[in-house]
Amino acid sequence: MAEGAAQEGVAKDLVRAGASAAFATIGSAPLDRIKTLLQLQPKLLQTGRLKQKYTGIFNCIRTIYRNEGLLGFWHGNWPNLLRRFAGPLVAFQSRDILRNRVFQSDPTKDSVKKMAVLNLLSGGLAGAVSLLAVQPLIYMHTRLTADALNRPQVSSRQFSGMRDLARQTINADGLPGLYRGYVVMAGSVFVYRALYFGVYDTMTNIKLGILSDNFASKFAMGWSAATLVAFLTYPLDTLAKRRMMTCCDLQKFRTSFHLLAFILRHEGVRSLYGGAWFSILRGLGGAVALVGWDEMNRIIMEQRQKKRELKNAS
């Protein structure tokens, strides 16, 4: 009975984590599309999908709306929605298992230094584990999001949907094509998750007065952590996505280092930070998922505690 109840509790935790991330993903999808197009526009100009460079954020917004309509801001969001639902199911649960059971972290006993190291390790490893399952979805989301229309020169999409993209990718590069850019993305995700969970967990566990017990301050800390980490890992994210864009393409690169050298030589360092300012707005989604997960766990633990008290009283 106890084992069954534990498994049921884990299943509910997984569903809550996925639902929290999926809700944030739908709301932030337009920001994600704009950021991706700005991030990958050098490659889109090379392939002819984009005829003229975006002059800024508002020009990108007008271009999307003029060529694709309102729904164009959500184009390519299905793979990301599936990824955002599936990824946290593994990442959040893995983080808790690694932190509490494997590393046996105890905020009431551990020093701030030890607590920070354990949070970084558990967060980074949790991200690496989740990436194994969702990398093909990350690839599909990147390619479909970057599949822009630019009428009248480009009036049809390169891929009609997820199935067509998978078929073309496998025909051109085999199954490994779905994992193009995996090594760079794994490094990016490890660093991102390590800092993301590590910074947030450390900030909340330090307990700066009453601030960390306040929902608004928790949200502010979650957004700060997400924004800081996004800027630090942004070049790796850009490099991984540029690597993905080489599938079904005539221009090939031997390694990610070869691609990085090409970008730095022909486009400059700024190309690695295209659309980076949008990470501040997109960090809202990450903060919602992170704080929402903690708040749901807090509420559930309080309810369980009340049930135990009532049971003991009777």
| 163 class by beta-carbon count within 10 Å (0-12 exposed, 13-18 middle, 19+ buried) | exposed
CA distance 94 to 290: 14
pLDDT tens figures, 230-286: 788 899 999 999 999 998 887 788 889 999 999 999 999 999 998 887 766 666 655
pLDDT tier, 155 (very low <50, low <70, confident <90, very high otherwise): confident
User: Which residue shows structure tokens 């590393």?
Assistant: 103
Q: What is the pTM of this model?
A: 0.72
pLDDT tens figures, 241-255: 999 999 888 778 888
pLDDT tens figures, 207-238: 554 445 566 666 677 677 777 777 888 999 99
Q: CB under 8 Å to 253, separation ≥6 — which residues? A: 243, 246, 259, 262
Is pLDDT at 4 greater than 60 in this prediction? Answer: no
- Among the residue ranges 38-42, 107-111, 243-247, 274-278, the one predicted with the least confidence is 107-111
